[in-house]
Amino acid sequence: MSTRPGFGVALSILVLLVGAACGGGDTTPLTSEEYASALEKTHSDLRDGAEKIQEEFQKALEDPVEVRLRRLVPTLASDGPWSDDEIEAVREWAEALSHVFTKSMEETVGLVGDYRDMVSALRPPEHLADLHDALVAGYDEGLEALEGLVRQMKDIDTDIESQEDYRDFVRAFSSVDYSGPESGSDVDETCFEIQDRLEEELGREVAICF
């Protein structure tokens, strides 16, 4: 299993927790209970990691992004030419905004990638194998789309030297689709189908989906 930066100690603990489920060279499928328990552990860690990324994102948006934006309101509302100091302030704000979004996306890619690796390493019960493979394939597609968003963000030019450069930056930033990959709905549908089948079979609540 690969380990991407940004998951740290939490992933190491998770590896120990589900190590028995992965089982090294043993290819015996898990029981439904073992499979459900392993998925619940990975989902719990994914949820906690996503909440942490969201909290850090919101905090960074408030300061420095929104703090700098409030200072720029008179400049951005002005029809006249900007001074060198104003252009520098706008450039610093654009760089901060781009950095915050890119960092959050990169951390999300790392988190989802680690989750995908952990799920992929599990040996599902035979009657759930096709759904399991579809879930992993969906996360592969989602990761590819998220990585594409990161590349788009990194390609946005924040070297603002004029008001026209600023307008180009706003157009480029606004053109990025932050709604997430189209495959997300397929992943959700597959996950809930696995969850429903496990709940019906085990006679208990199974929490593995958002």
pLDDT at 184: 61
pLDDT at 128: 97
Decide: residue 134, CB within 10 A, 0-12 exposed, 13-18 middle, 19+ buried: middle
Walk along the chain (210 residues) in steps of 10 and give the mean pLDDT of each run.
40 41 64 97 94 93 86 86 92 93 94 94 96 95 92 94 94 83 75 97 95
pLDDT at 23: 44
pLDDT at 26: 58
- CA dist 38 and 33 (Å) reads 9
Domain chopping of the chain, boundaries: 8-17+45-202
